[in-house]
Amino acid sequence: MNIKKDMHIHSCFSDGDLRPETIVDRWESAGHKLIAITDHDGIEGSIIACKYAETKSINVIPGIEFDSEDDLGKDLHILGYHIDFDNPRLQSALFELKRWRAQRNDEMLEILSDLGYEISIDDLIAVNDGNYIGKPTFARVLIDKGYVKDLNEAFNEVFDKEPRLNSVTKKTLRSHEVIEIIHAAGGTAVLAHPIQQKRKGETDEEFFPRLVQLLDLFRLYGIDGIECEHPSASAEEALALKNYAEKYKLTVT
């Protein structure tokens, strides 16, 4: 029997809006039996949700979503499930990622101030109590202060058009390292939304051979599964991903 589940949810501890407790209650009310909070490069939201759900009818499994890069692409997101939150290698990696993010945020804040945008660290912390600060946080502050009207304008007209901001790159782990870290923490590694690797203007004839090459490489790295059902994938694309996963006995999420 199929159960209602959602294995890719972001809380206010990354780029989501809701508290982990609210997510648990809302998804439980909607009839979900299994969920995972998979915040970007952090486990705080997942820890809270797992603890909170102990007395609930819904099962929450430990989760995370790492960003990564490889010679075949950037922004290769890898989901980790059933991870041991206390694993030393995982904790060490998360500490480094937080340090890199803080450095990047400081650089962006300084550049925005130089450009005339009156934004302070207190403004950024106020967005979600400082649980997470990234580009979406900066964008929300720009909206609140009336500099831009929405997220699209913040990214297209400020971040993407200003060379100095564009030069502030996000430092991430290598893809094979992320898979090793997830496995070291006793977890299952799943490649997230692979269809999002399609480049602007790229045809299906160009993209799919490149996608297969990427999936083949990730199998060599030891990936355990593929996120096939995702809003970025059409029904046909999801089916193609499932067929690939089934062929190589990979988990489908």
User: Nearest 5°: phi and psi at 37?
Assistant: -90, 120
* Helix, coil or strand: residue 142: helix
Task: Write down the pLDDT at residue 170.
Answer: 86
Taking the C-alpha atoms of residue 6 and residue 228, their distance in angstroms, rounded to an integer, is 13
Q: Global pTM? A: 0.91
Taking the C-alpha atoms of residue 177 and residue 105, their distance in angstroms, rounded to an integer, is 24
Contacts 24+ apart (CB under 8 A), 82-87: 82/186, 82/187, 82/188, 83/43, 83/182, 83/185, 83/186, 83/187, 84/185, 84/186, 84/187, 85/43, 85/46, 85/47, 87/184, 87/185, 87/186
Task: Write down the pLDDT at residue 1.
Answer: 62
Secondary element (H or E) of residue 180: helix 175-184
56: DSSP letter: S
Taking the C-alpha atoms of residue 226 and residue 243, their distance in angstroms, rounded to an integer, is 11
Task: Write down the pLDDT at residue 144.
Answer: 93
Taking the C-alpha atoms of residue 90 and residue 32, their distance in angstroms, rounded to an integer, is 28
Task: Produce one character per residue of 136-158: b if its CB has 16 or more CB atoms within 10 Å, e if not.
Answer: bbbbbbbeeeebbeeeeebbeeb
Angle between helices 175-184 and 204-221 (to 10 degrees): 40
Q: What is the mean pLDDT of each run of 10 residues along the chain (253 residues)?
A: 90 90 98 97 96 96 97 94 98 95 93 94 88 88 94 91 88 97 98 94 91 97 97 94 97 96
Task: Write down the pLDDT at residue 251.
Answer: 97
Task: Write down the pLDDT at residue 166.
Answer: 86
Please choose, from the candidates 132, 64, 138, the residue with its C-alpha nearest in 3D space to the C-alpha of residue 101. Answer: 132
For 201, counting Cβ atoms within 10 Å of its Cβ (0-12 exposed, 13-18 middle, 19+ buried), the class is: exposed
Task: Write down the pLDDT at residue 148.
Answer: 93
